[in-house]
Amino acid sequence: QVQLVESGGGLVQAGGSLRLSCAASGLTFSSYTMGWFRQAPGKEREFVAAIRWIGNTYYEDSVKGRFTISRDNAKNTLYLQMNSLKPEDTAVYYCAARSKYTSGTYRERDEYIYWGQGTQVTVSS
């Protein structure tokens, strides 16, 4: 059974930093592209960042230069380092897994087959 468990969310002031983690089990982690998505109240779940199984990274424009996605295949763990946080970054953040055989842009929810339960990030102004 595949499990993705996010942690590291919380309340932070604008300009601050948080590091999210996603612990994966039940899948060959190193073979999957991993992504972070977020969903703010009343909004659609949106792409944040992705990292391919070979290490290429992709970012949503509004987080480029502030967020860094990384992975530790030895620990089956995905990370999202978030710096210079803004109130508009407030959302529930989800990690997701995508088969390396899936075609697409890495940015669409439908490309990902496994999802975590989410962790809340709140940025106060």
Report d(CA 62, CA 44) in Å as an integer.
16
- 28-87 confidence digits (pLDDT tens): 999 999 999 999 999 999 999 999 988 999 999 999 999 999 999 999 999 999 999 999
Report d(CA 73, CA 67) in Å as an integer.
20
Mean of pLDDT values over 99-113: 93
pLDDT on residue 125: 93
DSSP string, 12-58: EETT--EEEEEEEESS-GGGEEEEEEEE-TTS--EEEEEE-TTS-EE
